[in-house]
Amino acid sequence: MPTPESPIGVFDSGIGGLSVLQALHAELPHQRYVYLADSGHAPYGEREPQHVIDRTMAAAEHLIVRHGIQALVVACNTATAIAIHLLRAEYPQLPLVGLEPAIKPAAQHSRNRRVGVLATRGTLQSEKFRVLHAGLAQQAEFILQPCDGLAGAIERQDEERIATLSAQYTAALGPCGVAPGCIDTVVLGCTHYPLIAPRLRTLLGPDVAMIESGAPVARQTRRILPQVGTEGTPSTRYFTTGQIGALQAAARRWLEADARVENLDLG
Ligand code: DGL
């Protein structure tokens, strides 16, 4: 049985979930974490839903059986959109937090009531997102931009491709800024995108609000934990189904200088 000392599992298709892990470290600094990047099978955003379901279920099972996690954070909008209902059905006892594009806070924030949403195709095409979007359609106009290839380029740290795609997709949103009629709020609806926030900031301009889900998800995780550790020695183990070097470089850059990554074969 998991205890308050058991780790929290954090799962993403790749390195993007590190943006959520960073927020978790800040909100719950005394917990233990196991981060699982399924980089060998990423990106998820342009794959068939069944692929995302199979990978998400395999990752969750691994974290539960091998690491005895006390809670799972699905730090991936795409996996949440496509598979979280199946995870809830399979593991009804497991405290579970997912991520979805923060379009509700964005609608509340936008003065012009025009909100851009950058996300994967899989997220934007999902039934879960369709319902979320339909429920808020009266509050703001949402300009939805699927960003094919962008998470993959971030995953590979392919700076040239990141530059091309981020310029293309932010331009496709249309005029951004605080002037009337412009998009004044942009949702980063994929956990990979906060990792290129400075570039997006340059492209969108200084006045556009960029909204992501890391901090609210960390607060939600605190709420669902049966008991919050306050004194334990924090630790994070990192696993990847892809290249060790890629996750190690990203984790060292974003989180901890001496992060060590282990390889994992999830089948
Ligand atoms: N980081 C993921 C998300 O939040 C997905 C990126 C991908 O694998 O396409 O949607």
Residue with the bigger pLDDT between 230 and 217: it is: 217
pLDDT in tens, 225-255: 987 877 777 899 999 999 999 999 999 999 9
pLDDT of 257 strictly over 90:
no
pLDDT for the residue 186: 98
pLDDT for the residue 159: 96
pLDDT for the residue 227: 79
Nearest CA to ligand 1 atom 9: 45
CA atoms of 97 and 74, how far apart (whole Å): 6
pLDDT for the residue 3: 84
| Mean per-residue pLDDT, 119-123 | 98
Residue with the bigger pLDDT between 249 and 4: it is: 249
35, 84, 147, 192, best to mutate for ligand 1 pocket (most atoms within 8 Å of CB): 192
CA atoms of 223 and 218, how far apart (whole Å): 9
* Beta strands at 114-119 and 96-97: parallel, antiparallel or unpaired: unpaired
> Is the CB–ligand 1 distance for residue 77 below 6 Å?
yes
Question: What would the two tokens of residue 159 be?
Answer: 């700076």
Nearest CA to ligand 1 atom 8: 43
Q: Is 33 annotated as a binding residue?
A: no
pLDDT for the residue 229: 72
pLDDT in tens, 205-214: 999 999 999 9
Question: What would the two tokens of residue 107 be?
Answer: 């609608």
Question: What would the two tokens of residue 201 be?
Answer: 């900031």
pLDDT in tens, 140-181: 999 999 999 999 999 999 999 999 999 999 999 999 999 999
120, 165, 213, 241, best to mutate for ligand 1 pocket (most atoms within 8 Å of CB): 120
Question: What would the two tokens of residue 232 be?
Answer: 């334990």
pLDDT for the residue 233: 77
pLDDT in tens, 25-84: 999 999 999 999 999 999 999 999 999 999 999 999 999 999 999 999 999 999 999 999
pLDDT for the residue 230: 74
Q: Is 241 annotated as a binding residue?
A: no
pLDDT for the residue 61: 97
pLDDT for the residue 158: 95
> Does 76 participate in catalysis according to the annotation?
yes
pLDDT in tens, 94-114: 999 999 999 999 999 999 999
Query: Are the beta carbons of 136 and 114 closer than 8 angstroms?
Result: no
For tokens 């992501």, name the residue.
212
CATH numbers and ranges of domains, the chain: 8-99+215-263 (3.40.50.1860), 103-212 (3.40.50.1860)
The β-bridge partners of 175 are: none
Give the distance, in angstroms, between the CA of residue 202 and the centroid of all CA atoms in the same chain.
21
The pTM for the full model equals 0.95
pLDDT for the residue 64: 97
For tokens 């199979």, name the residue.
54
Helices (H), the chain: 18-27, 49-67, 77-90, 103-109, 121-125, 127-136, 150-156, 159-173, 197-204, 214-224, 244-254
